[in-house]
Structure 1
Amino acid sequence: MTLLYKYKKEYAIQVSVDSTLLFPFKKIEDIKPLLNEGNYHLYAICKKKVVKFETDIQAKIENGKLKTILKLATDSTGKNFDEFRGIFDLEEVGKPPYSISFKHDDKEIIVLDSDGKTICEAWANFLLQGSLDQLAHTLISNGEYIEAMTVENRIRDLSLEVLYIGQAYGSNGERDAYKRLMDGHEKLTQAMIDIIDNPGEELWIMLFSLDDKLNIYSKDINDPISTDVDKSNDHSDNVKNFNVKPKHLLHAVEAAMIGYFNPIHNHEFKNTSRFPTKNKKYQDVLDLDCNSFCLLMNSRLRQKQAKYLVSPRIFTSDRTAENSVHTVDYALDFERVYMLEDLPLSSHVLFIMELNELEQFEVLNPINIKA
């Protein structure tokens, strides 16, 4: 059967992750002060290799810099580590002499000055990730690509494996991911059981906030279509009105993420129920009858750690940890031509560049509109 376009103008919905928060599960309460600066209804439960400070060798402050040694677990036993010598700029210097202590099994460092003021409070994971990100960027800028690839391989050792993706919304957006995770969570408990005998691994929580606006891309069709012009005009009006309930859009994004990453502890929205299979939870999105649905995910963290912007990689057995940006795209109707089929899916950069060449307009994201 020869596929046709359905309308004279076909549309693709794009949802973007606006910001990301990441914290170790044992310190998840530290997320709470940051929640008001976004709409964090989506979350991922992850595991990663342990990073800690080497406390047998004295960490010290010299000329406004923290000098220390970081250790990255090389396996799940927690017995074998690779060491990294680190020199980190401090945003505040304070008054010497300094007091340096470690918390949470040597995974967090606290530096106080002589007045008792905290001038540094950082997790080993963020310091190592941020410094390696910065080093890789410097090497690439200098044209030292082989050296940059070596650093990139170590960055991938710090990647987070996504175990479960979920969402929380409530009736009118009053419920967020933090509340859901703090209420007791079956999958979180399962993830804790998974690593209970693996001291070289630990759980981290990643929260996602979506952009306040959605991009709607359009493509004018000059080929034969399967409907008439009047229906095409009505369709365009419906897309521009974007009458989609917040929970339906949120379920669609959740389902798209699960279908893309295929986490081991997710069971809904997989296999035969994979997005965009017909599902009443995101029926409003399907009823718009758009051609395509895209999700742009950037896991660069909003919170700043020791002056570094951290860009952790996330992966599953289905998705490698090559970079911190993922572009997810789905055809919403398998009985018509897919409008994005000619875009380069192998490169997220080229995909985004060519997607932005299409005609586009914005609509408000209903998830972020307060009732």
Structure 2
Amino acid sequence: MTDTTAKSGDRSIWPRIRPFIDRVEAKLGLPPRQRSYSDQAEDERGQGASPFWVMVHKEIGDHIRSWRFGILIGIIVLACIGSIFSAVTAIRSGSASSPSSGDTFLFLQMFTLTSPSLAIPPFSSFLAWLGPLIGIALGFDAVNSERNKGTLGRLLSQPIYRDDFIIAKFISSLFLIAVVVFSLGFLIMGLGLFVIGYPPTPEEFLRVLLFLVIAVVYIGFWLNLSILFSIRFRQAATSALSSMAVWLFFAIFYSMITGLIDSVTAVSQTADVSAQISQMNLILTLNRLSPTYLFTETITTMLSPGVRSLGPLTMDQLVGAISSPLSLGQSLILVWPQLTGMIAETMVCFGISYYLFMRQEIRSRV
């Protein structure tokens, strides 16, 4: 009982004597020591902060101060400015539909419209292409860099749960991803107010918010995938190349493979309608195994209320259909399977990462 009280008292005194030790070391000319997770945990434990949130705060600070995060943010912002300029050019040239023509969702076209004279994709396409780079850059060396520097063993030798470490890595990176995505989305909305001249309707605002949330979930999948490779491989370069290879496969080559399968399994035009629909559903199912395709279908439906179906339709199904945009609830029901698929893929990647990390042997370097 006495030993426990003494140890807890030492932990409460440590944050007060730490500044004195730092001043003495500075006067002696000693190099400043790099603060570790345990140092910050001891400092903030007296203030009631748990080691988990200490690790989250440190990871966020390390990401913000890193060069690669600044470079990626610069690339994303430049792409965002280019897409805004293309959308504004298209709206001013009359390519967008006006509110008087019956389409009251002109504000959403800031995210999907592009000028025919400019070879610049819209913001949604930029996010589908460059968003995974943010997740990969924040997670490809999340674990193996700590292992190679020898700090992982020293960290886990402290009274810190092992699962808190891997969860803190994911939460801190996902928080930065959410901040970046929502900042860019609100930037486009703000510029849209100046260009269009009227504020968005409540439904348009909710559609944009859901689009940004879906983008965070999509980038979170690539973050979990890169963390998985950082646990599996000891070298950061190997995990980075593996993550980039998977991203390029789904972004470029997977559509070529499904197109080849479509040409091989294609049925004749004179075949039965049920056979044609079965072949279309087969190719559609194969395409939906790709997270990039799921994200494209989801954001297309959320940002384009005129989209009424994501699969093959027959003339019998079109009879009696009212030609009008879908409401927010109906669009959300339409993309709910795609959104559930992206969340499931993200959870599967995180579950595998969690399982591998909890079973790995970690040794401290001498």
| TM-score bucket of the superposed structures, by smaller chain | under 0.3
* Structure having greater relative contact order (Cα 8 Å, sep ≥ 6): 1
Which of the pair is proportionally richer in helix? 2
Q: TM-score scaled by structure 1?
A: 0.22
Bigger radius of gyration among the two: 2
TM-score normalised by length of structure 2:
0.23
